[in-house]
């Protein structure tokens, strides 16, 4: 990655000139509600899963061992699984394996914490140098573990209740007050907070009272070996059985109101009403599975397509492995992301890395992920007519997808996991340095 992935957020310059202590040797990474082994796009698995897997792999590559603790959801998996050299996934028994909704997990945090402590008790003192928790549920376990072990806590929110509640989709369920309170407690407890973008850092300060000097911005990366243009759009379409010359707007992600796939379907209905001939030369894949509040109405999107009279152009596909997902990106004329909230929008970067432009809502981290007017188009609001308007140029100009796609691939090169991991390691080092300074009585 050529761009700078870690941006200090208020750290005094003289602090950054001091001699840096050693990096951590081994960290405990916590992901209570979703396992890095789960298929992204199913249930609660999504961008955070990809984030944790890729970050852990790259940290191990720079000699920081990672042990990821996650809740066991099946008896078939062993207590620990090696995800990659230097990366171990530990399955913790906490509640029933199946049928436990994310909303019920706070009641299992005590059991999960007990499992983490049991694993730690089997090691010599000082086994973990630091705790890195992901999402607020993990933050509460990390808070206790870090205090018990006498090590720093680094926390990444990924999403925040106050931000989500301020931009709810119609009919979506607000995040509960318990989560808001829990997030505020974690912000006060953490030694460092990692935000995906400067905007997210500002939200932590504004909504949760985070200390500016404790917030660092680290842009997530993309696996540029997997997500790349490869052999091009035509070859990918042939592999997926898609027409070679069709207009293909793609939705990829979890099917839930937050991600707003319904906006795309309404936009497609607009386009077909204006130009019925498009039915013969347009395919709209929707790749993903129900998640979150979308689980309450798993067939809702299918029924909407039927009501809009567009079933003939929509192709619903289940979540797929990352290599196949890369082919869906390559095959598409454009990726459409009408989300109401995105902490960063890894899907947008992955698609661009494959040479596909993006039409996205101008929310959260998407203005960082997408270069408006160059690698894609950003839209204020969620009016389907605006998304239809942004898709029309792809109808009129057959070369637009290739032209903007080439710019998108160049733009995505500035987001690599190696630099993201190095920047995260720097945050770890700073947290350890501050902990040592306070212990020595210089605070």
Q: How remote is the C-alpha of 78 from its chain's centroid?
A: 26
49 known member of a binding site: yes
The phi, psi pair for 357, rounded to 5°, reads -70, 170
Helix (H) or strand (E) holding 15: none
58 known member of a binding site: no
| 386, 379 contact by CB (below 8 A) | yes
117 known member of a binding site: no
Cross-strand pairs, 378 = 360
387 known member of a binding site: no
33 known member of a binding site: yes
47 known member of a binding site: yes
| 284, 317 contact by CB (below 8 A) | no
The phi, psi pair for 54, rounded to 5°, reads -70, -40
| 256, 41 contact by CB (below 8 A) | no
356 known member of a binding site: yes
254 known member of a binding site: yes
322 known member of a binding site: no
82 known member of a binding site: no
Beta strand pairing call for 6-9 and 215-218? antiparallel
Beta strand pairing call for 358-361 and 376-379? parallel
| 421, 51 contact by CB (below 8 A) | no
135 known member of a binding site: yes
162 known member of a binding site: no
As a whole number of angstroms, the distance between CA 372 and CA 179 comes to 33
102 known member of a binding site: yes
212 known member of a binding site: no
DSSP string covering 245-283, please? T-B-EEEES-BSGGG-HHHHHHHHHHHHHH-GGGGGSB-
429 known member of a binding site: no
DSSP string covering 334-367, please? EEEE--S--SS-HHHHHHHHTT--EEEES-TTHH
| 159, 175 contact by CB (below 8 A) | no
13 known member of a binding site: no
342 known member of a binding site: yes
- Residues forming the annotated binding site? 33, 39-40, 44-49, 102, 135, 159, 179, 254, 259, 329-330, 332, 342, 350, 356
- Residues forming the annotated binding site for 1D-myo-inositol 3-phosphate? 33, 44-49, 102, 135, 159, 179
- Residues forming the annotated binding site for UDP-N-acetyl-alpha-D-glucosamine? 39-40, 47, 254, 259, 342, 350
- Residues forming the annotated binding site for Mg(2+)? 329-330, 332, 356
């Amino acid at each position: 990655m050529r761009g700078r992935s870690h941006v200090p957020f208020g750290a005094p310059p003289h602090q950054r000139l001091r001699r840096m202590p050693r990096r951590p040797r081994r960290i405990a990474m916590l992901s209570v509600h979703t396992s890095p082994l789960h298929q992204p796009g199913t249930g609660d698995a999504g961008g955070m899963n990809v984030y944790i897997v890729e970050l852990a792999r790259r940290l191990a590559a720079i000699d920081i061992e990672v042990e990821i603790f996650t809740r066991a959801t099946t008896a078939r998996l062993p207590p620990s699984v090696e995800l990659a050299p230097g990366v171990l996934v530990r399955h913790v028994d906490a509640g029933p394996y199946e049928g436990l909704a994310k909303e019920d997990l706070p009641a299992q945090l005590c059991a999960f914490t007990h499992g983490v402590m049991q694993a730690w008790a089997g090691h010599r003192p000082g086994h973990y140098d630091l705790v890195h928790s992901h999402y607020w549920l993990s933050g509460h376990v990390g808070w206790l573990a870090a205090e018990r072990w006498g090590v720093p806590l680094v926390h990444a929110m990924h999403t925040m209740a106050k931000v989500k509640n301020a931009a709810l989709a119609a009919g979506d369920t607000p995040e509960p007050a318990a989560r808001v309170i829990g997030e505020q407690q974690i912000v006060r407890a953490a030694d460092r907070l990692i935000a995906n973008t400067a905007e997210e850092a500002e939200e932590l300060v504004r909504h949760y009272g985070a200390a500016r000097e404790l917030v660092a911005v680290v842009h997530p990366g993309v696996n540029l070996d997997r997500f790349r243009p490869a052999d091009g759009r035509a070859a990918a379409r042939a592999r997926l059985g898609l027409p070679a010359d069709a207009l293909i707007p793609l939705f990829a992600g979890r099917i839930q109101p937050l991600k707003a796939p319904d906006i795309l379907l309404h936009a497609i209905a607009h386009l077909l009403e204006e130009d019925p001939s498009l039915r013969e030369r347009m395919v709209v894949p929707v790749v993903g599975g129900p998640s979150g509040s979308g689980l309450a109405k798993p067939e809702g999107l299918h029924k909407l397509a039927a009501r809009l009279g567009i079933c003939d152009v929509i192709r619903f596909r289940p979540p797929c492995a990352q290599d196949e997902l890369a082919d869906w990106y390559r095959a598409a004329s454009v990726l459409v992301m009408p989300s109401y909230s995105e902490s960063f929008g890894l899907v947008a970067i992955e698609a661009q890395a494959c040479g596909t432009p993006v039409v996205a809502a101008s929310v959260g981290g998407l203005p960082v992920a997408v270069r408006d007017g160059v690698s894609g188009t950003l839209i204020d609001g969620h009016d389907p007519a605006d998304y239809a308007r942004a898709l029309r140029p792809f109808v009129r100009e057959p070369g637009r997808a290739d032209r903007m796609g080439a710019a998108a691939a160049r733009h995505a090169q500035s987001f690599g996991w190696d630099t993201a991991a190095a920047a995260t390691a720097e945050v770890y080092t700073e947290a350890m340095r501050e902990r040592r300074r306070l212990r020595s009585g210089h605070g």
